[in-house]
Chain A
Amino acid sequence: MGYTFDFSVVWDNIGLFIAGALLTFRISLIAIAFGLILGIIGALFRTSGNRILNAITLAYVEIIRNTPFLIQLFFIFFGLPKLGIRLNAEQAAILSLSINFGAYSTEIVRAGVESIPKGQVEAAMALGFKPLKIFRYIILIPALSNIYTALIGQVILAVLFTSVVSQIATEDLTFAGDFLNSRTFRSFEIYFTVCLFYLAIVWIIKGIGYWVERRFFEFAKYSRR
């Protein structure tokens, strides 16, 4: 046990950590935003009563949720160029993370949509609302509110999943850690710092989630169920 801790490797390269963390943060936010849009559309298709849309969405969910994310990432980054679709590492990372989060959030949002009482839809129909507007203006917000806790849990997992994209040389936080480690072998100090940065990123995103909850779902504390 002759190991001497030396965090100077962290201080000397703090710019690398920060740059990596910023990229992780940016990729996370973009992928969560796109993924949530996919999830909302997926939930709409799953509950539309249209068999074809439902089948397509179900296939998407099954394929994504039952295969490893790393392979999905490799497929998009290394596989798609064979079809002429060339993406840089960051684009491939965002695309694969969005598609992945979209599949998980489809099922979560669908559960929320199905939790809305039938009377809500009937009241909207009686007022003359068409199905798409019922989904958009009547169902969506209460549905998201009902599953918000589960959704935030999945959002956190999505942030942590981003560490995998370092495998295609996306220069994220994990990549920064790996890079420094391969040059200095200060593994303890480096990965300890990487963990702290991930913790900070997750806390910031949870903070945004909390703000969204207070801003949009304030009504929920008054709805009796």
Chain B
Amino acid sequence: MTQFEVSKGGTATATEAAIVAQDVEKWYSNGFHVLKGVSLTVNKGEVVVLMGPSGSGKSTFIRTFNALEPFQKGSIEIDGIPLTPKLKNVDAIRREVGMVFQQFNLFPHLTVFENVSIAPIQVRNMPKAKADEIATQLLERVGILHQAKKYPGQLSGGQQQRVAIARALAMQPKIMLFDEPTSALDPEMVREVLDVMRSLANSGMTMVCVTHEVGFAREVADRIIFLADGLLVEDTTPAEFFNNPKSDRTRKFLSQILH
């Protein structure tokens, strides 16, 4: 069994919610009301893509799921664990949720291999041999094993992002968050990262992705959520979203990104 296989638990658990966010509201410290009551339920095994214009709060929204951003009102439950505005249960939730960032955020002083194995060793207290085994499997899976001894700075952006995905998966999360994972990449590197994300989705991982990759959203997403100005505007299937958008705001957005 590879680390990519996620138990969907058959029909009994297939409809269980992985993420339940209700009326989440957030103000930045400068008073800006970035999330104006957003509700979203993500079921286990679902791939949800968040789209929306910049400043709409998409990144901020998914960053509330693992408590990188505090929020002031509403509630979030991750795999049944409540994440209160007071940031309780943060450790339990971060154990369930992996995250991939726009700027990769690999640790520059650790080799590629150590980047993947350090969290299992230091956070999960896993024996080094076991962590090394997981790191080897994951790097193999994302196609970077032959570069394992290099430092992140020696890799291309696409390679770094694939390592970042492996690093997050090494903690064996139940949910993966992707915050614009291809936005900082040169165009020719986008595909290699999307391919890894696609195979992860096919393995049954619960995924929430903020991305502007229309092809990926059309093909891989179970649902598309459209956020604008801190509000959830649409929650629908990719086919409906791209072919038959309901709101003017969505149509305007699509006319801007589909050229």
Contacts and interface: CB of A to CB of B under 8 A. Distances in A.
A binds B: yes
Interface of A: 117, 119-120, 122-130, 133, 137-138, 141-142, 145, 217-220, 222-224
Contacts of B103: 117, 119
B184 to A, nearest CB: 11
Given A125-B67, A125-B94, A128-B119, 16 more contacts: A120-B105, A120-B107, A122-B68, A122-B105, A123-B99, A123-B106, A123-B164, A125-B66, A127-B167, A127-B168, A133-B123, A137-B118, A217-B109, A219-B109, A222-B152, A223-B108
B109 A141 contact: yes
A126 B109 CA distance: 18
B57 interface: no
Closest 5 CB pairs of A and B: A222-B153, A123-B105, A127-B119, A126-B99, A119-B105
A59 B17 CA distance: 52
Interface in B111-146: 118-119, 122-124
Contacts, number: 77
- Main DSSP-derived SS at the A contact region: helix
Greatest chain B CB density within 10 A among A122, A128, A218, A223 is at A128
19 contacts: A117-B103, A119-B101, A119-B103, A119-B105, A120-B107, A123-B101, A123-B107, A123-B164, A125-B68, A125-B94, A126-B168, A127-B171, A128-B123, A137-B122, A141-B109, A218-B151, A220-B109, A223-B108, A223-B153
B45 interface: no
Nearest to B106: A123
B124 to A, nearest CB: 8
B15 interface: no
